[in-house]
């Protein structure tokens, strides 16, 4: 009887290791653009599951954002600001360049930077429902003589 119970427990616990998309949909927090930009390089929707700061007690903390559906948006995300907000939390800012296209010879240029602001607790754990997400969109008509045109697009929680 004990072996049957032990086998059932092992089999049922192993199902979590093979979690599919339907399990991730329930725990993610998604954000959509407030207004639709003309550029196709700007993501229309961004979904997060977990936010944390790793190596929290060192001189080089790093931001860890997990998203089952959109991991490419957070690869290489850099923590640009981390400061104590109050005795219970820290404020952070992070950025990641999603697109950086530069045509040499006085051509055009386009740069898309994802920016995330939020808070984490003293253990470095954040809540994906309480972050501010925006994209900074920079374009140049001619890389030799023009100044960049900068637009910021904000996301709202769905």
Q: 20-76: per-residue pLDDT in tens?
A: 666 667 789 999 999 877 788 899 999 999 999 988 777 888 899 999 888 999 998
Spatial distance between the Cα atoms of 123 and 87, rounded to a whole number of angstroms = 12
Cα separations in angstroms, 124 against 52, 91, 134 = 5, 10, 22
Which range is least confidently modeled, 106-110, 130-134, 149-153? 106-110
Q: How many CA atoms lie within 13 A of 67 on its CB side?
A: 17
The separation between the first and the last C-alpha atoms of the chain, rounded to the nearest angstrom, is 49
Q: Looking at the predicted structure, is the pLDDT value of residue 15 above 50?
A: no
- pLDDT mean across residues, the chain: 85
Structure tokens at 148: 């960049």
């Amino acid at each position: 009887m004990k072996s049957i119970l032990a086998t059932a427990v092992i089999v049922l616990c192993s199902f979590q290791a093979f979690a599919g998309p339907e399990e991730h949909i329930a725990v993610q927090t998604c954000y959509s653009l407030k207004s639709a930009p003309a550029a196709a390089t700007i993501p229309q929707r961004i979904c997060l599951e977990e936010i944390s700061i790793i190596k929290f007690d060192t001189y080089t903390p790093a931001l860890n954002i997990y998203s089952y559906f959109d991991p490419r948006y957070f690869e290489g995300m850099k923590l640009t600001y981390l400061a104590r907000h109050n005795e219970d939390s820290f404020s952070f800012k992070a950025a990641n360049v999603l697109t950086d296209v530069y045509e040499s010879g006085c051509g055009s240029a386009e740069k898309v930077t994802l920016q995330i602001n939020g808070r984490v607790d003293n253990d470095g754990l954040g809540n994906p429902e309480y972050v501010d997400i925006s994209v900074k969109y920079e374009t140049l008509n001619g890389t030799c003589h023009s100044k960049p045109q900068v637009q910021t697009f904000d996301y709202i929680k769905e």
